[in-house]
Chains A and B, each alone.
Chain A
Amino acid sequence: MGWRKWFLVGLALGLCVWALVKVAPPSRANPSVQADSRGPSQYLSSGVFTTAHSSATSAVTDFLDVHPEHPAQPIAYTHKVHLANGLKCEDCHVGVDQGPDARIPGVAFCMTCHQAIDTDNPEIRKIAAYAARGEEIPWVRVYNYSPSAHVKFNHAPHIRAGVQCASCHGDMTTQTTAERKVNLNMGYCVQCHREKQVSVDCELCHN
């Protein structure tokens, strides 16, 4: 009676297809569209900003809390040299001691020094070229939170509390382009907060 099995399996598959095709999710992107002209596409369409992940991959990496450890940067910048020359972190990462975020220096900022310094260096030429084109250097962020973490971090209070940059970003004096030396997950934050007897109230960071 083999054919019967196959018949039933076929029927089942048919039902699934029907279920998937019949109705698509109601529209959120564009209120003026009619109920019948709804399609899943709007969740991916570029004309719309949504909190959904851009791809299944990013969803998975986000779920597993996985980050590239040493992303390639457009310029082979070296923290090592700059720090060795006596620069402080906050000289370039302006705002780190004033507010939540530290700025990643832009091309204009680099050129303030590199107008003069080490202009023959090919990497610096690249920077100069960016500046000439009036383009910003597309730096790749190394330390960032996934939106789904719904977490807000503020640098300033940590710096005021005397937390060393290195304790969260690793020893930059040994790095060229930044590496994700520390996996900044919640466990890491909580551990430090507990050691220092700082509040671990959820809403301190999550809101």
Chain B
Amino acid sequence: MSHKWAMVVDLDRCTGCEACVVACHAENNIPTVGEDQAARGRAMHWIRVERSWEGDFPNPQIRFQPVLCQQCDDAPCEPVCPTYASYHTSEGLNGQVYNRCIGTRFCANACPYNVRFFNFYNPTWDLPLNLQLNPDVSVRSVGIMEKCTFCVQRIKSAEIQAEAEHREMKDGDFTTACAQSCASKALVFGDLDDPDSEVSRLQSSNRATKLLGELGTKPNVSYLERGTWQDATSG
């Protein structure tokens, strides 16, 4: 059975707590770059919570929007890579093959969402912080581009598990680290090829939009817009 992995982000549920950000760091061996590097704009957050202000005191409006790799069907990052390090996997993910990456950084320039992150140095962990590293995920070295993989290591192990139990994968067998940690259930991950999955259901919501959809990148991450409050008193 084929899979089409996708995520739905409900902006009405998102509280901007950033649990997803740290969960991602923990799951995917993302290095902390330190203050001076962060100041140079080299902090690595595969998922970030973008915040925008509208209006002014006393009525400021704030919008939170988690942005991660949109796993586009027509990804601008893929064709530009001269070595196929960035390519489209058989399951429709935007794969990033670390050991094939020679670091032209073309993919990150081509990405409209700025969700690709470059290892400007060999990442370091002061001992024994290295013991926190997840053995299922490779630790990237200098000169390599990296990005959200939809926790492909979890996908793989879930597939292997299902195969070992001689069954098809089902919705909820696994989820990504960010979605798993999301208390308000703003992030939902699943398989669009499974019509009964929750993502399939949510994606058909009339609040669903795509980030920069007009660019035609066909993202697999959908956003559900914020709702509004209907005043019961004024009927």
The answer to A–B direct touch (Cβ < 8 A) is: yes
Chain A residues close to B by CB (< 8 Å): 25-32, 35, 42-43, 46-52, 147-152, 154, 156-157, 160, 199, 201-204, 206-207
Q: Does A31 contact B138, Cβ atoms closer than 8 Å? A: no
Q: Does A150 contact B122, Cβ atoms closer than 8 Å? A: no
Number of residues from B at the complex interface, CB < 8 A: 41
Q: Which of A31, A35, A156, A206 is the one whose CB lies under 8 Å from B97? A: A206
CB distance from B169 to the nearest CB of A (A): 15
Q: Does B99 contact A148, Cβ atoms closer than 8 Å? A: yes
CB distance from A149 to the nearest CB of B (A): 5
Chain B residue at smallest Cβ distance from A48 = B124
User: Which residues of B lie under 8 Å from residue A203 when comparing CB positions?
Assistant: 89, 93, 95, 97, 149, 152, 156
Q: Does A202 contact B97, Cβ atoms closer than 8 Å? A: yes
Q: Does B153 contact A50, Cβ atoms closer than 8 Å? A: no
CB distance from B122 to the nearest CB of A (A): 4
Add 13 more A-B contacts to A202-B95, A202-B97 (CB < 8 A).
A28-B37, A28-B124, A29-B126, A49-B125, A49-B126, A50-B125, A51-B140, A52-B141, A150-B138, A151-B99, A203-B89, A206-B99, A207-B137
Chain B residue at smallest Cβ distance from A97 = B164
The segment from B28-36, B103-111, B205-213 that touches chain A is B28-36
Q: Does B34 contact A207, Cβ atoms closer than 8 Å? A: no
User: Which residues of A lie under 8 Å from residue B164 when comparing CB positions?
Assistant: 156-157, 160
Chain B residue at smallest Cβ distance from A206 = B97
The answer to whether the Cβ of B174 comes within 8 Å of any Cβ in the partner chain is no
Q: Does A147 contact B141, Cβ atoms closer than 8 Å? A: yes
